Amino acid sequence: MSKISKKDSKKLHDYLDACVVKYNRPEFITDDPISIPHLFSKKQDQEIMGFWSAMLAWGQRKTIINKSKELIELMGGSPHDFILHHKEKDRAAFTNFKHRTFQPIDCLYFLEFFQQYYQKHDSLEEAFAMHMQAEDLDTKNALIGFHQLFFDSVNAPNRTKKHVATPERKSSCKRLNMFLRWMVRNDAKGVDLGIWSGIKPHQLVIPLDLHVQKVARKFQLLHRKQNDWNAAIELTEALRKFDPNDPVKYDYALFGLSVNKDLL
């Protein structure tokens, strides 16, 4: 395993910082699933559709955005209001909703969880933050606790568990980590929403998608071959050396370099 020299590390640090500036700007929003929570100003709407669009985030970004907008239409344009007040009969409209392997049975359970949760809680933040301690280095406990809470129902379909990951199954939790980035980071750049404070930016873990891991390996920031939770932690720890307070900001650099084909 080769190591980056101190000189090369400084060059890479400066380069990635420049790439963060290049990509972490409002222009990024339009073609990305983060555009979905940005459609709303109400916190709970941002949470519900941010979570749902993140869970649907595999495949072409345009398709993810369109399917998320379809869900918004099914909820009458007001997700939180619909979640709180809809009746069982109102769920019939969702029995035809599909996105790749996300089937109507998964959709109906998401509705059930959200309704039961929001009838008792003001914000989805508590579902994650309640499982963490201030001294936690990362969000592992938050993700494990949320997964247990999400499926703490006799009606929870076993098949739906593949759509909401957990570190307990060694998953990199790519989509959940992306959702938490949206909710937690608040750098006034206009992309991440930064509406939660119970989890801190330094605790976030990098969303390890194919674009990110490809560029990270090219720059020798990631050596683990499996794209699992340990790989996500390895890369996050490497990025903390560049910015211990906000390592996940480099998601913009690594993802942007690949998806925009700027990586030579």
CA distances to 6, 15, 244, 249 from 48, in Å: 44, 35, 29, 23
pLDDT of 8 reads 80
Domain boundaries, the chain: 1-30+206-264, 33-200
For residues 198 and 231, the answer to whether their CB atoms sit within 8 Å is no
**CA-CA distance, 85 to 119, in Å (whole number)?**
9
- In b/e form, how buried is each residue of 127-156, taking b as 16+ CB within 10 angstroms? bbbebbeeeeebbbbbbbbbbebbbeeeee
Partners of 171 in the β-ladder: 228
Mean pLDDT by 10 residues, the chain (264 residues): 68 96 96 97 98 95 97 98 97 96 97 98 98 97 98 96 97 98 96 98 97 96 97 98 98 94 70
HSE-up (13 A, CA, CB side) for residue 136: 20
**Single-letter code of the amino acid located at 71:** L
pLDDT of 3 reads 58
55: Cβ contacts below 8 Å, ≥ 6 apart? 102, 110, 163, 164, 175, 179
CA distances to 115, 168, 187, 257 from 20, in Å: 37, 31, 12, 10
pTM: 0.96
pLDDT of 1 reads 43
